[in-house]
Structure formats: C-alpha cells, structure tokens
Amino acid sequence: MRAILDVVSPAATLVEALEPIRSDPDRGAVLLDIDGTLAPIVRHAADAHVPEATRTLLIEIGKRYGVVGCVSGRRAATARQIVAIGTLAYVGNHGGELLRPRSTRPEVDPELAAWSARVRAFAARALTAEHQRLRIRGEDKEAIAAFHWRGAPDEEAAEVAVREIARLAQEEGLVVHWGRKVLEVRPPVKLDKGLGIAMLLRGSEATAALYVGDDTTDLDAFRGLRELVQSGPLDSVLCVAVNSDEAPPELAREADLTVDGTAGVRELLEALL
C-alpha cells in the first residue's frame, strides 16, 4: 500500500477529492471563508486583501460553477470590497447578511437588525481610552461589535482587557464569541455561517458543495452543509480545513481534507479548474 501511495501526487489526490463537484459544475457550490483562507491574516484586519493570483482563479470559478460564495464574519459589503469581485455572492456577519451577485444591498436577518442600536451603544461605552492606549481596535459591524488585539504592543495585557469587555457584555445579556485574537459581541440571536449558507443555497440547483475555512466559526459551515446532505437538498459535501499555527485543532478533526495556508487554498482553486 505504501508504494501505491508514493506514486500518487498530492495534486492527483486533491482532484479525486473534488470529483463530485467537478463532475457537474452547474450543480456545484464553491463556498469559501475569506480571512485566513482567501486572504492572508494581517496585523490589522482593515489591511486584508485577496492576492491577485487568487482573484484571477475566483473569477474563472465564478464563471464555471453554479454557486460561488464567500462566507465571512465581516459585513457582506466589506467582504465584497476585500475580494473585489461583484459577480460572486457574499454571506456576511456570520450568516446574518446575504449579498447576492450584482446586488447593491444585502438581505439582513430582521431579528439581527433589531439589535443593532443596542450592540453599538454597548461598544461605544465599552471601548475606553485605556483600551485605545493598549491599541485594542474596535470594528463596527452594526449588529456585531468586534474588538481586535492582534499586533498590540502588549498582546497579553490587551487580551486581559478584552476579556473584561466580554464579561461586561455577558452581564448585559449579549453573547460573546472568540476568534483569532478577536472578541465579537453579538445579540442573543441564532447566528452562524451554516444558516447563511442554507439561505444562499435555497432555491439553487446545487447538489454538491465544497467549503473551505480556517477558524472556529467555519465549523458551523461544515455542520450546516452536512445537515443539508442528511435532509436531502445536497448529495455530497467536501469540508476543507486550512492549516495554520492558529487554526483550532477541532477544525482539522471535523474536516474531510486539509490544505496548508492560503497557498494550499490557491492550489485547491486551481484543481477546481
């Protein structure tokens, strides 16, 4: 068995894994996280961008496959700005927004939108001059408030301060979610990437789907797609984890396949073509 595996190239193995979606692209859905998957993780989230080589592949994939969507914790409009391809779909705010191809306004979960004012008011109170001194950066996503400490001069002290923000949020009945050096304060509303993907795929002709992601929130996408297989809309799904030093170990455990970093994702996109 060892000798047989040695003569099979990784590229060939990847193409084989992708065969269910490659065999009928009109009925295939290609779904991709952005930060850490399409775009390398950067010190300041506002500086993230998708490399041109990756964008070129995405444009071709968008022409070939029935559904192509980028799924992000950022707002859908911000996600589109980062990827800079208007013909793709964007699921934003961890499933709370859906910006369809060529649309100018996202569809927003009304229950989520109803909490926007309260979350924004909390964020305005929570982010103090001391947090700014520690270089903790706030991000306004309307119904979600994010607090980043990646790249702070003293990341350990900044994280301690952010954990105090999390405690205060929970005392006010809000929900906290931890990402890679970021805290998100959310409304107590069911919200995950799997739900957003289900909304995107509803009414489509997709029977096979691929999802690629690198963080804890991408587990919801894995699980949501597998539920769609169990309930019938999809025949098959391939869940891919992106390896990195910060990737949560459970992501690889639940994935069908792993690739190494954004370069590995680019190889996967090439294999789709």
> Closest by alpha carbon to 136, among 62, 145, 96?
145
Angle at 103 between CA 123 and CA 200, to 5 degrees: 80
Tell me: do 80 and 135 sit in the same domain: no
Is residue 2 included in any domain, yes or no?
no
Choose the final residue of a domain: 134, 152, 186: 186
pLDDT surpassing 80 at residue 160 = yes
Residue ranges making up the domain that contains 208? 8-108+191-272
Q: What is the pLDDT of residues 104-156, one digit of tens each?
A: 899 988 888 899 999 999 999 999 999 999 999 999 988 899 999 999 999 99
- What is the percentage of the chain residues whose pLDDT exceeds 70? 96
Whether the per-residue pLDDT at 207 is higher than 60: the answer is: yes
Residue 32: inside a domain, yes or no? Answer: yes
- Whether 82 and 204 map to the same domain: the answer is yes
Within this chain, do residues 100 and 18 fall inside the same structural domain, yes or no?
yes
Number of domains in the chain: 2
Whether residues 133 and 230 fall in one domain: no
- 96 & 206 share domain: yes
Residue 152 counted as domain residue: yes
Domain boundary among 166, 186, 206: 186
Asked if the model's pLDDT at residue 8 lies above 80, the reply is no
pLDDT at 109 (0 to 100): 84
Per-residue tokens: 132: 């700014």
The residue among 123, 156, 186 that closes a domain is 186
What CA–CA distance (Å, rounded) separates 39 from 266? 10
260 and 231 assigned to the same domain: yes
Instruction: From 84, 36, 27, select the one nearest 56 (Cα to Cα).
Output: 84
pLDDT in tens, 65-97: 999 999 999 999 999 999 999 999 999 999 999
100 shares its domain with 196: yes
| The pLDDT of residue 12 | 58
The answer on pLDDT for 163 being more than 70 is yes
Domain shared by 26 and 101, yes or no:
yes
Q: What is the pLDDT of residue 10?
A: 57
Residue 180 has pLDDT above 90, yes or no: no
Any domain includes 1: no
The verdict on 14 and 102 lying in the same domain is yes
Neighbour-count burial of 19, counting CB atoms closer than 10 A to its CB (0-12 exposed, 13-18 middle, 19+ buried): exposed
Position 19 in a domain: yes
Residue 180 lies in a domain: yes
Beta-bridged to residue 99, according to DSSP, are 90
Q: Is residue 46 part of a domain?
A: yes
Least confidently predicted of 20-29, 38-47, 149-158: 38-47
The CATH number for 146's domain is 3.30.70.1020
Q: Are residues 103 and 115 in the same domain?
A: no
Q: What is the CATH number of the domain that holds 28?
A: 3.40.50.1000
Same domain, 227 and 265: yes
Collect all residues with Cβ–Cβ distance below 8 Å to 248 and sequence separation of at least 6: 215, 216, 219
pLDDT-based confidence at 48, cuts 50/70/90? confident
Dihedral angle, C-alpha 268, 21, 16, 219, nearest 10 ° = 60
Q: Which amino acid, residue 252?
A: A
220-268 pLDDT per residue, tens: 999 999 999 999 899 999 999 999 888 889 999 999 999 999 999 999 9
| Confidence (pLDDT) at 27 | 97
Q: Is there a single domain that holds both residue 174 and residue 148?
A: yes
Helix or strand (DSSP H, E) at 118: helix 116-126
126 domain residue, yes or no: yes
* SS3 state at 137: strand
